[in-house]
Chain A
Amino acid sequence: MKATGVSVSLGGRTVVSSVDLHVSPGEVVALVGPNGAGKSSLLAAVSGDLPSSGEVMVDERPLDSYKPIELARLRAVLPQKAALSFPFTVGEVVRMGRAPWSGRPEAAEDEDAVAEAMELTETTGFAARPFPALSGGEQARVALARVLAQRTPLLLLDEPTAALDLRHQELVLSVTRARAASGTAVIVVLHDLSLAAAYADRACVLAAGRVRSEGPPSSVFTPELLSEVYQHDVEVLPHPRTGTPLVVPRRP
């Protein structure tokens, strides 16, 4: 996936302006930045939800040349908030992720893909429960399971860890990492910069709709840049054992 000069306007305001973003198979790219920086809008533009100017290429073809069903076999999108109008069970929700493959040879993997996705996200235990009866964090993991079950070469995840506890944050990002290791390209919006530093190959720092810096987290996450972008003093310390950057706000 390669996006060049992408701009998005919402309600007459430019929320993303001429952003370049690319991700290759096997790579995890973290989109970070303060609230309102345009992370979700950029992700929506890249997934074809919001009209944008500029060029988005998926698998070397322009995004808008795809039919929805073709695109659904190439990329899966995890929305920021999981909603469901009717009380489907968790098992049924995860199985919805297989819909794009119906009537294709890959449909033979349906059972396997659903079982694997639920196991990875530790949701197998509530397969029979109605989705609306789950807690926010459980719903978020089920939504991720649905996206994983889709088995696409490109994953776009909008804040997959927002509602999760510490253990499940790690679980979700290591699952994502493992997917990348098997050749999937991943773009993930994250708020926790230390998580981004630990799991992403590259980080893209957005502020006010523009890319401020892009590259490996260790070189991008500098106290100067982050302090300026977040308008709060930030310290970046190397982890004493692993050396990955730890990003902490300076506190009195």
Chain B
Amino acid sequence: MLTAYKKMGLIGFLIVGLAAVCVLAAGRGQVPISPSEVAGSLLHRLGLGIGPLPSAVQGENALWLVRFPRVVLAVIVGASLGCAGALMQGVFGNPLAEPGVVGVSSGAAVGAAAAIVSGITVLGSWTTAAAAFAGGVVTTFIVYAMSRAGGRTEVVTLVLTGVAVNATAGALLGLLMFLTDDDGVRAIAFWQLGSLAQATWSAVAVAGPCALAGLAVAVALSRRLDLLALGERPARHLGVDTERLRIIAIVATALLTASAVAFTGIISFVGLIVPHLIRMIAGPGHRVLVPASALGGAVVVVTGDLIARTAIDYQELPLGVLTAVVGGPAFFWLLRRTRARAGGWG
């Protein structure tokens, strides 16, 4: 276990690491730009005439119209997923809770797909995000109501609830695909695979505030989430209004999931693996776990997206597929470990 000083060091390390992968990711692609030129371009826009400008033809445009929105959205999505995972695990008192696994991501995707298919645009560019949020809230409440017994959630119940919710959401997505035209089918298929290819500044402008609000709430709740680890009653004995905490946390989870899903589709397992790794390094205290999981999630998604778009020339791997390839086996390992420790599927 780390000391408080080292825990702050971990946060600092993650911030520096995130900045480094962001600069690296912004430089890689069909128009290569060196990290110093990326930094130079940024500083010039900030009004500081320091560092070299991109020397490549169209370099400045490639950075500001394509790469930066994509990297920033990757940071937002990753931070939302990591934070949502940590928050959900805290509220469920179960290290296997995660928006993708329990089906909240699918629920949010159904909401967003319904908005796409129906062509409703009452809220402008916010429509998809709002629909994803609504889908996320409804699903989180359903999962919460169905999987809890006596103040805690058993692993089996949680995972099986996730199976049921994911199956239902999959059916609804299939139905929406059946009802819509070719463009709609393509849009929904894109959802299920998960990708950052459609990142724009307007997407950032919608997902960013949702993510920030969710993150702020999660950080504010972190001390109370620690107490919740004792169980619902003991937490109340220590002054936590558990009913209120639960509702606020569920809304925040849905907000974070919506910001992660609204423009990129389902990117699973980030919220499961990242908080788990952070817990192994820094212990389960949420005051470090929540911000560190957000930063760690951002590092993972920015790196994952970099690999997804540069691994194969002139082709792009869907990011959701990539995270699932790594996350799936890691989930197996986590399940086995939890089982070994609990002496069964309790």
* A interface residues, Cβ below 8 angstroms from B: 44, 47-49, 67-73, 75-77, 79, 82-89, 92-93, 96-97, 99-100, 102, 128, 130, 150
Contact = CB atoms under 8 A, between A and B. Distances in A.
Question: Closest 6 interchain pairs by CB?
Answer: A72-B239, A86-B284, A85-B93, A69-B239, A100-B239, A77-B237
B249 to A, nearest CB: 14
11 contacts: A67-B241, A71-B237, A72-B237, A72-B238, A85-B231, A86-B279, A88-B284, A89-B1, A92-B285, A100-B238, A150-B238
Contact of A68 (B152, B229, B230, B239): B239
A97 B237 CA distance: 9
B119 interface: no
A85 to B, nearest CB: 4
Contact of B223 (A44, A87, A102): A102
A49 B233 contact: yes
Contact of B231 (A68, A76, A83, A128): A83
A88 B283 contact: yes
B236 interface: yes
Nearest to A44: B233
A47 B237 contact: yes
Give the size category of B's interface with A. Answer: 20 to 34
A89 B283 contact: yes
B238 A79 contact: no
Give the interface centre of A68, A75, A89, A96 by most chain B CB atoms within 10 Å: A68
A72 B230 CA distance: 15
B237 A88 contact: no
B279 A79 contact: no
Nearest to A147: B237
Contacts of B233: 44, 49, 77, 79
Interface of B: 1, 93-95, 152, 223, 226-231, 233-234, 236-242, 279, 283-285
A77 B152 CA distance: 19
B284 A83 contact: no
Contacts of A92: 226, 283, 285
B239 A71 contact: yes
Contacts of B229: 84-86, 88
A86 B230 CA distance: 9
A48 B238 CA distance: 12
A68 B239 CA distance: 4
Nearest to A95: B226
A83 B231 CA distance: 7
A79 B232 CA distance: 11
Nearest to A128: B1
Given A79-B234, A88-B229, A97-B238, 13 more contacts: A68-B239, A71-B237, A75-B237, A77-B233, A77-B234, A77-B237, A84-B230, A85-B229, A87-B279, A88-B283, A88-B285, A102-B223, A128-B1
Contacts of A86: 93, 95, 229, 279, 284
B318 to A, nearest CB: 33
Give the interface centre of A77, A86, A96, A128 by most chain B CB atoms within 10 Å: A86
Give the interface centre of B94, B279, B284 by most chain A CB atoms within 10 Å: B284
A88 B226 contact: yes
A49 B235 CA distance: 11
A242 B20 CA distance: 74
A96 B287 CA distance: 13
A56 to B, nearest CB: 15
A130 B284 CA distance: 10
Contacts of A47: 237
A67 B279 CA distance: 32
A49 B238 contact: no
Contacts of B238: 72, 96-97, 99-100, 150
Nearest to B153: A85
Nearest to A69: B239
Contacts of A89: 1, 283
B283 A96 contact: no
B227 A96 contact: yes
A82 to B, nearest CB: 8
Contacts of A69: 239-241
